[in-house]
Amino acid sequence: MATKKFKCKVCGYVHEGNEAPEKCPMCSAPKSEFEEITEADAAPKKKGIDTSSNVYTIIYAAVMVILVAFLLVFVSSTLKERQTANVINDTKAQILSALNIKDQADVAAAYASTIKADMLMQADGSLVPYDGEFCTGYSAEYDANRLHVFEAEVNGQTKYVIPMNGLGLWGVIWGYIALDEDRTTVDGVYFSHASETPGLGGEIAAPLFQSRFPGKIVTDNGKVALQVVKFGKADKNSPFQVDGVTGATITSTGVNNMINKVLTSYLPFLNAK
């Protein structure tokens, strides 16, 4: 004997039996909300193509993937040039930011007038001009042992900017440190990060943390002496210690390790006076 089917109009629950249940087991709707489904309704309305067939599914997936792939390639290739220009501009703005030149309307012009040369440090600490394209990722440059130093002139004084890379808590962190002509006094710093916690590790990118650096001394007796210590532990009279970010000990340690690692590689330059 064929059982009848009843569909709940509220939630779509289908009940099989001779009559509709008193109460829908899914949504507690009363019996009156049920309606009988006759076979004609239950059978899918075949209009055009059967969307659940294997062939249709495979063709649909293939077409979709190809269309989306072309779309993405098109978008990516048309915007590539603008994006690269933006990244270069942003990198220049970061370098200028370490020299305390911030919020420039025309970054490229400010960079051209401030940064006199993009140099590479040699093993003996001397600088030779770098003649390649302007770099935007200094992590790879560091790994390839091409140690960049930017020579800048701000208000008639020579400054040096060194790019730095390291690891924070969740991902990479990077920054630039600007030194005075004596190659030991910090003029300014810039830090940024890929994915540190906002409000905690992310604060390394904030002015408050970066304002603790200017005037500090980088090297002592030929070794890197600049340290980022746990918040509140920095000796106020020490020219080498800087307070970390409160509540972000691991990111602060990351900044400390980054400064230490990178500046150690630059020691020949820092000690050559």
Partner 1 sequence: MAKNNNEALKQPIWVNNPVVVQILGICSALAVTAQLKPAIVMGLSVTVIVAMSNVIISLLRNTIPNRIRIIVQLVVVAALVTIVSEILKAFAYDVSVQLSVYIGLIITNCILMGRLEAYAMQNGPWDSFLDGIGNGLGYAAILVVVAFVRELFGSGKLLGFQIIPQWCYDHGYMNNGLMIMPPMALILVGCIIWIHRSKNKDLQEK
* Chain positions contacting partner 1, by CB under 8 A: 51-52, 56-57, 60-61, 64-65, 68, 71-72, 75-76, 79, 82-83, 86-87, 89-90, 194-195, 197-200, 247
What distance in Å separates the CA atoms of residue 260 and residue 220, rounded to the nearest whole number? 13
What's the CA dihedral at 250, 251, 256, 258 to 10 degrees? Answer: 120
User: Which of 69/117 has CB closer to partner 1?
Assistant: 69
User: Which of 73/117 has CB closer to partner 1?
Assistant: 73
CB of 78 to partner 1, least distance (A): 9
Answer for the pair 204, 190: CB distance below 8 angstroms, yes or no.
no
User: Which of 87/140 has CB closer to partner 1?
Assistant: 87
CB of 189 to partner 1, least distance (A): 18
User: Which of 86/126 has CB closer to partner 1?
Assistant: 86
| Distance from the first to the final alpha carbon of the chain | 101
CB of 23 to partner 1, least distance (A): 15
CB of 155 to partner 1, least distance (A): 28
Please name which of 89, 92, 96 lies closest in space to residue 188, comparing C-alpha atoms: 96
User: Which of 87/109 has CB closer to partner 1?
Assistant: 87
Q: How many residues does the chain have?
A: 273
CB of 129 to partner 1, least distance (A): 29
